[in-house]
Chains A and B, each alone.
Chain A
Amino acid sequence: SQTIHQWPATLVQPVGSPLSLECTVEGTSNPNLYWYRQAAGRGLQLLFYSVGIGQISSEVPQNLSASRPQDRQFILSSKKLLLSDSGFYLCAWSQYFSYNEQFFGPGTRLTVL
């Protein structure tokens, strides 16, 4: 069966510090991968998605970037965090042929102080 891992579970970072969140998927090949953010009291906002190694699409202009160095690894990064980057970050995957049924990781709670 497929599993998705995200770490860390919680993170508190000062403004201006760098960020690296990692997501890995097991039990499937060539998945579509996604990064979402859930800000307080709001829905899920798609930040990035990837249909293959090195292929990243950005949905909204922002202070963050994403990379996919391996088939089942997806990384969310920032060089300098802003207060507005605080939120709950979720990684998800779907089968390569469909964006529809997505399966989410446990999420990372990021607090920027």
Chain B
Amino acid sequence: DQQVKQNSPSLSVQEGRISILNCDYTNSMFDYFLWYKKYPAEGPTFLISISSIKDKNEDGRFTVFLNKSAKHLSLHIVPSQPGDSAVYFCAASEYGNKLVFGAGTILRVKS
């Protein structure tokens, strides 16, 4: 039972344009959400997070949006850069419990 789903295995975007990565979840008790970025043969690195009391969180070029009624969150990267090419994992937790990860989306930014 996949509680966190990233339905797009891959996404290709032109440099300078917006990248939008999507994530859906089924557990309405999740109250904290994170995005991780992973390069090949490396461990994931934390990118940005959002608490369920917010609907938006920004950090430079990265913005995460949370729609609790739709159980959906998205990561926007503007403008996209070639160095953003990586696998992006969405993760969620319930009241500080263990993280549940999605399967990941491969982002390719073309120059």
Binding site for B on A (CB under 8 A): 4, 6, 42-46, 49, 59, 88, 90, 92, 97-107, 109
Interface of B is mostly: loop
A-B contact pairs, 7 of them (CB 8 A): A44-B101, A90-B43, A90-B44, A99-B93, A99-B98, A99-B99, A104-B43
Q: What is the bound-complex CA distance between A106 and B99, given in angstroms?
A: 19
Also in contact, A46 and B41, with CB within 8 A (given A100-B49, A101-B46): no
Check B96–A99 contact: CB distance below 8 A.
yes
Also in contact, A101 and B34, with CB within 8 A (given A106-B42, A107-B41): yes
Instruction: Give the distance to chain B from A97, nearest Cβ to Cβ, in Å.
Output: 8
Q: Is the CB of B18 closer than 8 A to any CB of chain A?
A: no
Check B101–A107 contact: CB distance below 8 A.
no
Check B89–A44 contact: CB distance below 8 A.
yes
**How many CB-defined contacts (below 8 Å) exist between A and B?**
54
Check B99–A100 contact: CB distance below 8 A.
yes
Check B99–A102 contact: CB distance below 8 A.
yes
Check A43–B46 contact: CB distance below 8 A.
no
Q: What is the bound-complex CA distance between A97 and B36, given in angstroms?
A: 20
Which residues 14-41 of B sit at the A interface, judged by CB distance below 8 A? 32, 34, 36, 41
Instruction: Give the distance to chain A from B101, nearest Cβ to Cβ, in Å.
Output: 4
Q: What is the bound-complex CA distance between A109 and B49, given in angstroms?
A: 28
Q: Is the CB of B13 closer than 8 A to any CB of chain A?
A: no
Instruction: Give the distance to chain A from B3, nearest Cβ to Cβ, in Å.
Output: 11
Q: What is the bound-complex CA distance between A67 and B11, given in angstroms?
A: 39
- For A103, list chain B residues within 8 Å (CB): 46
List the 8 shortest-distance A-B pairs measured between CB atoms, nearest first.
Answer: A104-B43, A43-B103, A44-B101, A43-B101, A104-B44, A107-B43, A99-B98, A105-B43
